[in-house]
Amino acid sequence: MAGRTPKKKAPRKASAPPVLPDNANWIESDRYDRHAYGQLRRDAASLQELERAGQAFVPHFPSLLRDVFCLLFKYNVVFAGESDVLPSAAINRTLLTALHDGEVGRLLREVTRLDEGKAGLCTLLVGEGILAMLKSEKPWTRHDMMDTWKLRQQEEDFRKTREMLEHAGELGEQEEGAGKEEALAEIEERLKSRLRGDAASIRQKQRQLTEDLDRVGSEAQARVQASAIRAAQQLDEAVEEAERWGSAVGSGGRLPADRRLELSRRLAGNDKLKKLIRMVGRIRSHALALRKRTFERANEELYSVEQGGALERLLPQELVTLHHPLLHRDFQRRLLENELLQYSLRGMEEKRKGPVVVCLDGSSSMAGDKEIWSKAVTLTLLELTRRQRRPFRSICFSSRDTALHVLDMTTRRGNDVEPDKLMDLAEHFPGGGTDFETPLDAALECLKKSRYKKGDIVFITDGECQVSPEWAERFRKEKDRLSFSLFSILIDIGSSSLGTLEEFSDRITTITQLTSEGAKDLFIRF
Protein backbone atom coordinates (compact mmCIF):
# COMPACT_ATOMS: atom_id res chain seq x y z
CA MET A 1 0.00 0.00 0.00
CA ALA A 2 0.98 3.61 -0.10
CA GLY A 3 2.45 3.26 3.39
CA ARG A 4 5.09 0.92 2.01
CA THR A 5 6.67 3.72 0.02
CA PRO A 6 10.12 4.43 1.55
CA LYS A 7 10.37 7.70 3.36
CA LYS A 8 12.43 10.26 1.55
CA LYS A 9 15.44 11.40 3.50
CA ALA A 10 16.49 15.00 3.45
CA PRO A 11 19.38 15.36 1.00
CA ARG A 12 22.73 15.65 2.70
CA LYS A 13 24.80 18.63 1.78
CA ALA A 14 28.02 17.49 0.16
CA SER A 15 31.03 18.56 2.19
CA ALA A 16 33.55 20.67 0.35
CA PRO A 17 36.68 18.71 -0.64
CA PRO A 18 39.89 19.66 1.16
CA VAL A 19 41.92 22.54 -0.22
CA LEU A 20 44.85 21.47 -2.41
CA PRO A 21 48.31 22.74 -1.38
CA ASP A 22 49.76 25.40 -3.66
CA ASN A 23 53.21 23.79 -3.81
CA ALA A 24 52.18 20.26 -4.91
CA ASN A 25 51.20 20.96 -8.52
CA TRP A 26 53.54 20.58 -11.48
CA ILE A 27 51.36 22.16 -14.17
CA GLU A 28 51.09 25.93 -14.01
CA SER A 29 47.45 27.08 -13.94
CA ASP A 30 45.58 30.36 -13.88
CA ARG A 31 42.46 31.34 -11.95
CA TYR A 32 40.10 30.13 -14.69
CA ASP A 33 41.71 26.68 -14.84
CA ARG A 34 41.52 26.29 -11.06
CA HIS A 35 37.91 27.50 -11.01
CA ALA A 36 36.86 25.07 -13.78
CA TYR A 37 38.45 22.10 -12.04
CA GLY A 38 37.24 23.28 -8.64
CA GLN A 39 33.62 23.14 -9.81
CA LEU A 40 34.08 19.63 -11.20
CA ARG A 41 35.85 18.53 -8.04
CA ARG A 42 33.15 19.97 -5.79
CA ASP A 43 30.14 18.63 -7.69
CA ALA A 44 31.36 15.35 -9.24
CA ALA A 45 31.18 12.55 -6.68
CA SER A 46 33.28 10.28 -8.90
CA LEU A 47 36.28 12.61 -8.71
CA GLN A 48 36.02 12.93 -4.94
CA GLU A 49 35.83 9.16 -4.56
CA LEU A 50 38.85 8.71 -6.82
CA GLU A 51 40.80 11.27 -4.78
CA ARG A 52 40.13 9.40 -1.54
CA ALA A 53 41.10 6.07 -3.06
CA GLY A 54 44.32 7.38 -4.60
CA GLN A 55 45.45 9.26 -1.49
CA ALA A 56 45.74 5.94 0.33
CA PHE A 57 48.75 5.16 -1.90
CA VAL A 58 50.54 8.45 -2.58
CA PRO A 59 50.18 11.70 -0.59
CA HIS A 60 49.51 14.13 -3.45
CA PHE A 61 47.06 12.13 -5.58
CA PRO A 62 44.39 14.92 -5.53
CA SER A 63 46.99 17.39 -6.83
CA LEU A 64 47.95 14.86 -9.50
CA LEU A 65 44.35 14.78 -10.75
CA ARG A 66 44.23 18.56 -11.00
CA ASP A 67 47.50 18.50 -12.93
CA VAL A 68 46.07 15.87 -15.32
CA PHE A 69 43.02 18.08 -15.88
CA CYS A 70 45.16 21.16 -16.58
CA LEU A 71 47.43 19.15 -18.88
CA LEU A 72 44.40 18.04 -20.90
CA PHE A 73 42.42 21.29 -20.70
CA LYS A 74 44.99 24.08 -21.11
CA TYR A 75 46.04 25.30 -24.51
CA ASN A 76 49.65 25.88 -23.40
CA VAL A 77 51.12 23.46 -20.86
CA VAL A 78 54.03 24.70 -18.75
CA PHE A 79 55.72 22.59 -16.05
CA ALA A 80 56.77 24.27 -12.81
CA GLY A 81 60.38 24.21 -11.65
CA GLU A 82 61.52 21.56 -9.17
CA SER A 83 62.30 24.20 -6.56
CA ASP A 84 58.65 25.32 -6.58
CA VAL A 85 57.16 21.88 -5.87
CA LEU A 86 57.37 19.67 -2.79
CA PRO A 87 59.86 16.79 -3.17
CA SER A 88 57.19 14.32 -2.05
CA ALA A 89 55.26 15.12 -5.26
CA ALA A 90 58.11 13.85 -7.47
CA ILE A 91 56.17 10.73 -8.41
CA ASN A 92 53.48 13.01 -9.90
CA ARG A 93 56.09 14.57 -12.19
CA THR A 94 57.07 11.16 -13.55
CA LEU A 95 53.44 10.28 -14.32
CA LEU A 96 52.62 13.66 -15.88
CA THR A 97 55.72 13.64 -18.06
CA ALA A 98 54.85 10.18 -19.37
CA LEU A 99 51.33 11.38 -20.26
CA HIS A 100 52.49 14.70 -21.76
CA ASP A 101 55.32 13.34 -23.90
CA GLY A 102 53.48 10.33 -25.33
CA GLU A 103 51.68 10.33 -28.67
CA VAL A 104 48.43 9.17 -27.06
CA GLY A 105 48.56 12.12 -24.66
CA ARG A 106 48.87 14.53 -27.56
CA LEU A 107 45.89 12.91 -29.29
CA LEU A 108 43.85 13.16 -26.10
CA ARG A 109 44.67 16.84 -25.82
CA GLU A 110 43.29 17.42 -29.30
CA VAL A 111 39.92 16.17 -28.06
CA THR A 112 39.85 17.63 -24.54
CA ARG A 113 41.56 21.02 -24.99
CA LEU A 114 39.32 23.86 -23.69
CA ASP A 115 36.41 21.43 -23.15
CA GLU A 116 35.71 21.18 -19.42
CA GLY A 117 33.39 18.18 -19.68
CA LYS A 118 35.68 16.04 -21.84
CA ALA A 119 38.80 17.09 -19.93
CA GLY A 120 37.09 16.20 -16.64
CA LEU A 121 35.92 12.82 -17.90
CA CYS A 122 39.34 12.01 -19.34
CA THR A 123 40.94 13.05 -16.03
CA LEU A 124 38.68 10.56 -14.27
CA LEU A 125 39.51 7.77 -16.73
CA VAL A 126 43.27 8.41 -16.67
CA GLY A 127 43.19 8.74 -12.89
CA GLU A 128 41.44 5.39 -12.56
CA GLY A 129 44.13 3.82 -14.75
CA ILE A 130 46.89 5.31 -12.58
CA LEU A 131 45.12 4.14 -9.43
CA ALA A 132 44.94 0.60 -10.83
CA MET A 133 48.67 0.79 -11.56
CA LEU A 134 49.42 1.87 -7.98
CA LYS A 135 47.26 -0.91 -6.57
CA SER A 136 49.14 -3.48 -8.63
CA GLU A 137 52.42 -2.26 -7.03
CA LYS A 138 54.04 -2.10 -10.44
CA PRO A 139 56.36 -0.47 -11.25
CA TRP A 140 56.52 0.95 -7.70
CA THR A 141 56.31 -1.38 -4.74
CA ARG A 142 54.49 -0.70 -1.50
CA HIS A 143 57.89 0.10 0.04
CA ASP A 144 58.51 2.79 -2.61
CA MET A 145 55.17 4.42 -1.91
CA MET A 146 55.81 4.29 1.84
CA ASP A 147 59.03 6.20 1.21
CA THR A 148 56.96 8.92 -0.44
CA TRP A 149 54.76 9.14 2.64
CA LYS A 150 57.83 9.28 4.93
CA LEU A 151 59.22 12.13 2.86
CA ARG A 152 55.88 13.91 3.13
CA GLN A 153 55.97 13.50 6.92
CA GLN A 154 59.47 14.95 7.04
CA GLU A 155 58.29 17.94 5.00
CA GLU A 156 55.46 18.48 7.46
CA ASP A 157 57.86 18.28 10.44
CA PHE A 158 60.14 20.79 8.71
CA ARG A 159 57.21 23.17 8.17
CA LYS A 160 56.12 22.97 11.80
CA THR A 161 59.67 23.53 13.08
CA ARG A 162 60.04 26.59 10.86
CA GLU A 163 56.76 28.00 12.16
CA MET A 164 57.93 27.45 15.74
CA LEU A 165 61.18 29.25 14.94
CA GLU A 166 59.32 32.22 13.49
CA HIS A 167 57.06 32.31 16.52
CA ALA A 168 60.08 32.23 18.84
CA GLY A 169 61.57 35.19 16.99
CA GLU A 170 58.36 37.16 17.44
CA LEU A 171 58.39 36.41 21.19
CA GLY A 172 61.99 37.61 21.43
CA GLU A 173 61.00 40.99 20.05
CA GLN A 174 58.17 41.32 22.59
CA GLU A 175 59.85 40.00 25.77
CA GLU A 176 62.25 42.02 27.95
CA GLY A 177 64.91 40.92 30.45
CA ALA A 178 68.31 39.23 30.12
CA GLY A 179 67.17 35.84 31.41
CA LYS A 180 64.25 35.56 29.05
CA GLU A 181 66.34 36.66 26.10
CA GLU A 182 68.92 33.97 26.82
CA ALA A 183 66.22 31.30 27.12
CA LEU A 184 64.62 32.34 23.86
CA ALA A 185 68.02 32.41 22.15
CA GLU A 186 68.68 28.84 23.36
CA ILE A 187 65.28 27.67 22.06
CA GLU A 188 65.88 29.39 18.76
CA GLU A 189 69.28 27.68 18.39
CA ARG A 190 67.76 24.26 19.07
CA LEU A 191 65.06 24.91 16.49
CA LYS A 192 67.63 25.99 13.91
CA SER A 193 69.61 22.84 14.57
CA ARG A 194 66.46 20.77 14.11
CA LEU A 195 65.72 22.59 10.87
CA ARG A 196 69.17 21.78 9.53
CA GLY A 197 68.73 18.14 10.45
CA ASP A 198 65.28 17.98 8.85
CA ALA A 199 66.55 19.66 5.68
CA ALA A 200 69.44 17.18 5.40
CA SER A 201 67.08 14.25 5.96
CA ILE A 202 64.69 15.58 3.28
CA ARG A 203 67.55 15.96 0.79
CA GLN A 204 68.72 12.42 1.46
CA LYS A 205 65.22 10.98 1.11
CA GLN A 206 64.67 13.05 -2.04
CA ARG A 207 67.83 11.64 -3.65
CA GLN A 208 66.74 8.12 -2.79
CA LEU A 209 63.24 8.73 -4.20
CA THR A 210 64.68 10.23 -7.39
CA GLU A 211 66.89 7.18 -7.89
CA ASP A 212 63.91 4.87 -7.39
CA LEU A 213 61.82 6.85 -9.89
CA ASP A 214 64.60 6.85 -12.47
CA ARG A 215 65.13 3.13 -12.00
CA VAL A 216 61.60 2.27 -13.17
CA GLY A 217 60.97 5.34 -15.32
CA SER A 218 60.62 3.48 -18.61
CA GLU A 219 58.23 0.90 -17.15
CA ALA A 220 56.14 3.66 -15.54
CA GLN A 221 55.97 5.51 -18.84
CA ALA A 222 54.75 2.38 -20.65
CA ARG A 223 52.05 1.78 -18.06
CA VAL A 224 50.85 5.38 -18.16
CA GLN A 225 50.70 5.20 -21.95
CA ALA A 226 48.60 2.03 -21.70
CA SER A 227 46.24 3.81 -19.29
CA ALA A 228 45.99 6.74 -21.70
CA ILE A 229 45.09 4.39 -24.58
CA ARG A 230 42.30 2.81 -22.55
CA ALA A 231 41.10 6.26 -21.51
CA ALA A 232 41.00 7.41 -25.14
CA GLN A 233 38.88 4.38 -26.11
CA GLN A 234 36.52 4.85 -23.17
CA LEU A 235 36.28 8.60 -23.75
CA ASP A 236 34.90 8.25 -27.28
CA GLU A 237 32.46 5.57 -26.16
CA ALA A 238 31.29 7.49 -23.08
CA VAL A 239 30.77 10.79 -24.92
CA GLU A 240 28.85 9.03 -27.71
CA GLU A 241 26.59 7.20 -25.24
CA ALA A 242 25.97 10.40 -23.27
CA GLU A 243 24.89 12.17 -26.47
CA ARG A 244 22.55 9.28 -27.30
CA TRP A 245 21.12 9.40 -23.80
CA GLY A 246 20.53 13.14 -24.07
CA SER A 247 18.76 12.83 -27.42
CA ALA A 248 16.68 9.83 -26.35
CA VAL A 249 15.62 10.71 -22.80
CA GLY A 250 17.19 14.09 -22.14
CA SER A 251 15.20 16.76 -20.39
CA GLY A 252 16.22 19.56 -22.71
CA GLY A 253 19.08 22.03 -22.37
CA ARG A 254 22.81 21.52 -22.08
CA LEU A 255 24.02 19.82 -18.91
CA PRO A 256 26.80 21.41 -16.86
CA ALA A 257 30.24 19.85 -17.07
CA ASP A 258 30.01 17.95 -13.79
CA ARG A 259 26.65 16.41 -14.79
CA ARG A 260 28.02 15.38 -18.17
CA LEU A 261 31.01 13.83 -16.44
CA GLU A 262 28.88 11.75 -14.07
CA LEU A 263 26.48 10.74 -16.85
CA SER A 264 29.26 9.70 -19.21
CA ARG A 265 30.98 7.74 -16.47
CA ARG A 266 27.85 5.79 -15.55
CA LEU A 267 27.02 5.03 -19.18
CA ALA A 268 30.52 3.85 -20.13
CA GLY A 269 30.68 0.07 -20.02
CA ASN A 270 27.02 -0.36 -18.99
CA ASP A 271 25.62 -2.67 -21.65
CA LYS A 272 22.09 -2.62 -20.21
CA LEU A 273 21.86 1.18 -20.44
CA LYS A 274 23.30 1.18 -23.95
CA LYS A 275 20.66 -1.28 -25.10
CA LEU A 276 17.97 0.76 -23.34
CA ILE A 277 19.10 3.97 -25.07
CA ARG A 278 18.84 2.38 -28.51
CA MET A 279 15.41 0.95 -27.69
CA VAL A 280 14.11 4.29 -26.35
CA GLY A 281 15.38 6.08 -29.45
CA ARG A 282 13.41 3.79 -31.76
CA ILE A 283 10.16 3.85 -29.77
CA ARG A 284 10.38 7.60 -29.13
CA SER A 285 10.84 8.40 -32.82
CA HIS A 286 7.88 6.20 -33.72
CA ALA A 287 5.67 7.74 -31.02
CA LEU A 288 6.47 11.36 -31.94
CA ALA A 289 5.95 10.71 -35.64
CA LEU A 290 2.65 8.97 -34.94
CA ARG A 291 1.35 11.84 -32.81
CA LYS A 292 2.38 14.42 -35.39
CA ARG A 293 0.53 12.65 -38.21
CA THR A 294 -2.58 12.09 -36.13
CA PHE A 295 -2.95 15.61 -34.77
CA GLU A 296 -1.69 17.53 -37.78
CA ARG A 297 -5.20 18.59 -38.91
CA ALA A 298 -7.51 16.26 -37.04
CA ASN A 299 -8.63 18.86 -34.53
CA GLU A 300 -9.99 21.44 -37.01
CA GLU A 301 -13.19 21.78 -39.15
CA LEU A 302 -14.60 24.37 -41.57
CA TYR A 303 -16.86 26.68 -39.63
CA SER A 304 -17.72 29.94 -41.49
CA VAL A 305 -16.26 32.68 -43.74
CA GLU A 306 -13.95 35.42 -42.52
CA GLN A 307 -11.41 37.95 -43.82
CA GLY A 308 -7.72 37.17 -43.81
CA GLY A 309 -4.65 36.34 -45.85
CA ALA A 310 -4.31 32.54 -45.62
CA LEU A 311 -3.92 31.41 -49.24
CA GLU A 312 -4.61 27.76 -48.43
CA ARG A 313 -8.13 28.66 -47.13
CA LEU A 314 -9.29 31.17 -49.78
CA LEU A 315 -12.79 30.94 -51.22
CA PRO A 316 -12.89 29.85 -54.88
CA GLN A 317 -14.37 33.20 -56.06
CA GLU A 318 -11.31 35.02 -54.73
CA LEU A 319 -9.07 32.86 -56.88
CA VAL A 320 -11.16 33.70 -59.96
CA THR A 321 -10.22 37.40 -59.63
CA LEU A 322 -6.62 36.53 -60.44
CA HIS A 323 -7.54 36.17 -64.12
CA HIS A 324 -8.79 39.80 -64.39
CA PRO A 325 -6.08 42.46 -64.94
CA LEU A 326 -7.64 45.08 -62.62
CA LEU A 327 -9.07 42.69 -60.05
CA HIS A 328 -5.66 41.01 -59.88
CA ARG A 329 -4.16 44.21 -58.47
CA ASP A 330 -7.08 44.57 -56.07
CA PHE A 331 -6.42 40.97 -54.96
CA GLN A 332 -2.84 41.87 -54.13
CA ARG A 333 -3.93 44.91 -52.13
CA ARG A 334 -6.48 42.96 -50.12
CA LEU A 335 -3.95 40.19 -49.55
CA LEU A 336 -1.52 42.67 -48.00
CA GLU A 337 -4.30 44.11 -45.82
CA ASN A 338 -5.71 40.67 -44.88
CA GLU A 339 -9.11 41.44 -46.40
CA LEU A 340 -9.52 38.38 -48.63
CA LEU A 341 -12.47 36.06 -48.01
CA GLN A 342 -11.38 32.75 -46.54
CA TYR A 343 -12.81 29.79 -44.71
CA SER A 344 -12.75 29.98 -40.91
CA LEU A 345 -11.55 26.88 -39.05
CA ARG A 346 -12.89 25.88 -35.69
CA GLY A 347 -10.76 23.68 -33.43
CA MET A 348 -12.32 20.60 -31.91
CA GLU A 349 -10.62 20.82 -28.55
CA GLU A 350 -8.90 17.66 -27.48
CA LYS A 351 -9.76 16.38 -24.04
CA ARG A 352 -7.35 17.85 -21.51
CA LYS A 353 -4.72 15.29 -20.65
CA GLY A 354 -3.85 14.93 -17.01
CA PRO A 355 -1.02 13.45 -14.95
CA VAL A 356 0.37 9.97 -15.54
CA VAL A 357 1.29 7.35 -12.94
CA VAL A 358 3.30 4.42 -14.31
CA CYS A 359 3.49 1.19 -12.33
CA LEU A 360 6.58 -0.66 -13.55
CA ASP A 361 7.09 -4.36 -12.82
CA GLY A 362 10.60 -5.02 -11.49
CA SER A 363 10.21 -8.66 -10.47
CA SER A 364 12.69 -11.38 -11.41
CA SER A 365 10.52 -12.61 -14.28
CA MET A 366 11.05 -9.20 -15.96
CA ALA A 367 14.84 -9.52 -16.13
CA GLY A 368 16.60 -9.25 -19.48
CA ASP A 369 14.79 -8.02 -22.59
CA LYS A 370 11.52 -7.58 -20.70
CA GLU A 371 13.14 -4.99 -18.44
CA ILE A 372 14.59 -3.13 -21.43
CA TRP A 373 11.23 -3.02 -23.20
CA SER A 374 9.29 -1.92 -20.13
CA LYS A 375 11.69 0.89 -19.28
CA ALA A 376 11.89 2.02 -22.90
CA VAL A 377 8.09 2.43 -22.96
CA THR A 378 8.19 4.21 -19.59
CA LEU A 379 10.84 6.68 -20.72
CA THR A 380 8.96 7.31 -23.97
CA LEU A 381 5.77 8.10 -22.05
CA LEU A 382 7.82 10.38 -19.80
CA GLU A 383 9.09 12.31 -22.83
CA LEU A 384 5.56 12.74 -24.20
CA THR A 385 4.18 14.01 -20.88
CA ARG A 386 7.20 16.25 -20.30
CA ARG A 387 6.57 18.03 -23.58
CA GLN A 388 3.03 18.78 -22.39
CA ARG A 389 4.16 19.88 -18.89
CA ARG A 390 2.19 17.13 -17.17
CA PRO A 391 3.13 15.49 -13.84
CA PHE A 392 4.65 12.01 -14.13
CA ARG A 393 5.26 9.52 -11.32
CA SER A 394 7.02 6.17 -11.62
CA ILE A 395 6.30 3.33 -9.16
CA CYS A 396 8.62 0.35 -9.54
CA PHE A 397 7.38 -2.73 -7.70
CA SER A 398 8.17 -6.38 -7.12
CA SER A 399 7.20 -8.53 -4.11
CA ARG A 400 4.93 -7.45 -1.27
CA ASP A 401 7.86 -7.32 1.16
CA THR A 402 9.99 -5.08 -1.10
CA ALA A 403 9.51 -1.35 -0.66
CA LEU A 404 8.14 0.52 -3.65
CA HIS A 405 10.61 2.65 -5.59
CA VAL A 406 8.70 5.89 -6.18
CA LEU A 407 10.03 8.74 -8.33
CA ASP A 408 8.29 12.00 -9.22
CA MET A 409 10.00 12.50 -12.57
CA THR A 410 8.85 15.99 -13.56
CA THR A 411 9.34 19.17 -11.55
CA ARG A 412 6.63 21.64 -10.64
CA ARG A 413 7.36 23.51 -13.86
CA GLY A 414 6.47 20.30 -15.66
CA ASN A 415 9.00 20.28 -18.49
CA ASP A 416 12.18 19.59 -16.52
CA VAL A 417 13.42 16.14 -15.54
CA GLU A 418 16.31 15.69 -13.14
CA PRO A 419 19.12 13.66 -14.80
CA ASP A 420 19.81 11.72 -11.60
CA LYS A 421 16.19 10.54 -11.45
CA LEU A 422 16.33 9.44 -15.09
CA MET A 423 19.40 7.35 -14.36
CA ASP A 424 17.85 6.04 -11.16
CA LEU A 425 14.76 4.91 -13.06
CA ALA A 426 16.86 3.26 -15.75
CA GLU A 427 19.17 1.38 -13.37
CA HIS A 428 16.82 0.34 -10.56
CA PHE A 429 15.72 -3.30 -10.72
CA PRO A 430 14.75 -4.92 -7.38
CA GLY A 431 14.00 -8.47 -8.58
CA GLY A 432 12.08 -10.91 -6.41
CA GLY A 433 8.42 -11.89 -6.55
CA THR A 434 5.40 -10.01 -7.92
CA ASP A 435 2.57 -8.22 -6.16
CA PHE A 436 0.05 -6.16 -8.15
CA GLU A 437 -2.14 -4.95 -5.29
CA THR A 438 0.46 -2.85 -3.41
CA PRO A 439 1.60 -0.66 -6.35
CA LEU A 440 -1.95 -0.14 -7.61
CA ASP A 441 -3.09 0.91 -4.13
CA ALA A 442 -0.18 3.34 -4.05
CA ALA A 443 -1.20 4.68 -7.47
CA LEU A 444 -4.75 5.19 -6.17
CA GLU A 445 -3.47 7.21 -3.24
CA CYS A 446 -1.36 9.26 -5.65
CA LEU A 447 -4.38 10.15 -7.82
CA LYS A 448 -6.14 11.49 -4.73
CA LYS A 449 -3.47 14.16 -4.29
CA SER A 450 -4.09 17.57 -5.81
CA ARG A 451 -1.11 17.46 -8.18
CA TYR A 452 -2.18 14.12 -9.69
CA LYS A 453 -5.95 14.53 -9.75
CA LYS A 454 -7.67 13.66 -13.04
CA GLY A 455 -4.69 11.51 -13.95
CA ASP A 456 -4.49 7.99 -15.40
CA ILE A 457 -2.50 4.86 -14.58
CA VAL A 458 -0.25 2.90 -16.94
CA PHE A 459 0.53 -0.61 -15.70
CA ILE A 460 3.54 -2.32 -17.33
CA THR A 461 4.13 -5.99 -16.55
CA ASP A 462 4.36 -9.51 -17.94
CA GLY A 463 1.13 -10.29 -16.09
CA GLU A 464 2.41 -13.22 -14.05
CA CYS A 465 0.56 -12.54 -10.79
CA GLN A 466 -2.86 -13.00 -9.20
CA VAL A 467 -5.10 -10.60 -7.25
CA SER A 468 -7.88 -11.43 -4.82
CA PRO A 469 -11.50 -11.04 -6.02
CA GLU A 470 -12.23 -8.73 -3.08
CA TRP A 471 -9.37 -6.43 -3.95
CA ALA A 472 -10.31 -6.37 -7.65
CA GLU A 473 -13.89 -5.41 -6.79
CA ARG A 474 -12.78 -2.65 -4.45
CA PHE A 475 -10.29 -1.33 -7.02
CA ARG A 476 -12.91 -1.16 -9.76
CA LYS A 477 -15.24 0.83 -7.47
CA GLU A 478 -12.45 3.28 -6.67
CA LYS A 479 -11.68 3.61 -10.37
CA ASP A 480 -15.27 4.53 -11.12
CA ARG A 481 -15.38 6.97 -8.22
CA LEU A 482 -12.19 8.78 -9.21
CA SER A 483 -13.00 8.59 -12.96
CA PHE A 484 -9.58 7.52 -14.17
CA SER A 485 -8.48 4.99 -16.76
CA LEU A 486 -5.99 2.17 -16.36
CA PHE A 487 -4.02 1.27 -19.47
CA SER A 488 -2.06 -1.99 -19.17
CA ILE A 489 0.93 -2.86 -21.34
CA LEU A 490 1.70 -6.57 -21.43
CA ILE A 491 5.35 -7.40 -22.04
CA ASP A 492 4.61 -10.49 -24.10
CA ILE A 493 8.22 -11.49 -24.74
CA GLY A 494 8.65 -15.02 -23.47
CA SER A 495 6.23 -16.15 -20.79
CA SER A 496 3.33 -13.78 -20.04
CA SER A 497 -0.25 -13.86 -18.82
CA LEU A 498 -3.23 -11.73 -19.80
CA GLY A 499 -5.87 -13.06 -17.39
CA THR A 500 -5.19 -10.96 -14.31
CA LEU A 501 -4.86 -7.69 -16.23
CA GLU A 502 -8.34 -8.13 -17.66
CA GLU A 503 -9.81 -7.93 -14.15
CA PHE A 504 -8.91 -4.26 -13.59
CA SER A 505 -7.71 -2.77 -16.92
CA ASP A 506 -9.73 -0.53 -19.24
CA ARG A 507 -7.51 -1.32 -22.20
CA ILE A 508 -4.61 -3.68 -22.78
CA THR A 509 -1.96 -3.61 -25.45
CA THR A 510 1.13 -5.73 -25.92
CA ILE A 511 4.71 -4.99 -26.88
CA THR A 512 4.25 -6.88 -30.13
CA GLN A 513 1.45 -4.42 -31.04
CA LEU A 514 3.51 -1.27 -30.52
CA THR A 515 4.19 -0.93 -34.24
CA SER A 516 0.52 -1.18 -35.16
CA GLU A 517 -2.83 0.07 -33.86
CA GLY A 518 -1.75 -0.64 -30.28
CA ALA A 519 0.96 1.98 -30.51
CA LYS A 520 -1.54 4.52 -31.81
CA ASP A 521 -3.93 3.75 -28.99
CA LEU A 522 -1.17 4.10 -26.39
CA PHE A 523 0.86 7.08 -27.55
CA ILE A 524 -2.02 9.20 -28.80
CA ARG A 525 -3.77 8.97 -25.46
CA PHE A 526 -0.65 9.81 -23.48
DSSP 306: E
- Number of other residues whose CB lies within 10 A of the CB of residue 417: 22
State phi, psi for 308 to the nearest 5 degrees: 180, -165
CA distance 111 to 240: 13
* In contact, 125 and 230? CB cutoff 8 Å: yes
354 closest CA partner among 294, 395, 414, 431: 414
d(C-alpha 521, C-alpha 526), whole Å? 9
Residue 103: which residues within 8 A CB-CB, separation 6 or more? none
Which class for 49: exposed (0-12), middle (13-18), buried (19 or more C-beta within 10 A)?
exposed
State the Cα–Cα distance between residues 520 and 523, nearest whole angstrom.
Answer: 6
Q: What is the largest CA-CA distance in the chain?
A: 122
Three-class secondary structure of residue 446 per DSSP: helix
Whole-angstrom distance, CA of residue 52 vs CA of residue 46: 10
Cα-Cα-Cα-Cα dihedral sign, residues 50, 52, 57, 58: positive
Does the bond joining 139 to the residue before it have cis omega, within 30 degrees of 0? yes
Which residues lie closer than 8 Å to 360 by C-beta, 6 or more apart?
374, 375, 378, 394, 395, 396, 397, 460
Q: pLDDT tens for the chain, 526 residues: list them.
A: 444 444 444 444 445 677 888 888 989 988 898 888 888 888 788 888 888 998 888 888 999 999 999 999 998 999 988 888 888 888 888 888 888 888 888 888 888 888 888 888 888 888 888 888 888 878 878 877 888 888 888 778 777 777 776 666 555 555 555 555 666 666 666 666 666 766 666 677 767 767 767 677 677 778 888 888 888 777 766 766 666 666 555 544 455 665 666 666 666 666 676 677 667 666 666 666 655 544 444 455 566 788 888 887 888 888 888 888 888 888 888 888 888 888 876 654 444 468 889 999 999 999 888 888 888 888 888 887 877 778 889 999 999 999 999 998 877 665 567 777 887 888 889 988 999 999 999 999 999 888 888 888 999 999 888 899 999 999 999 998 988 889 888 888 888 888 889 899 888 888 876 654 545 555 655 5
Nearest to 28 by CA among 94, 73, 62: 73
Interior/surface letters 137-168, b for 16+ CB within 10 angstroms, e for the rest: eebbeeebbebbebbbebbebbeebbebbeeb
Contacts of 184 (CB under 8 A, 6+ apart): 168, 171, 172, 175
CB 123 within 8 A of CB 130: no
With beta carbons less than 8 A apart as the criterion, state whether 377 and 460 touch: yes
Region label for 46, one of left (φ > 0), alpha (ψ between -120 and 50) or beta (otherwise)? alpha
d(CA 149, CA 57): 9
Q: Write the DSSP string, 20-76.
A: PPGGG--B---HHHHHHHHHHHHH-HHHHHHHHHHTTTSTTHHHHHHHHHHHHH-SS
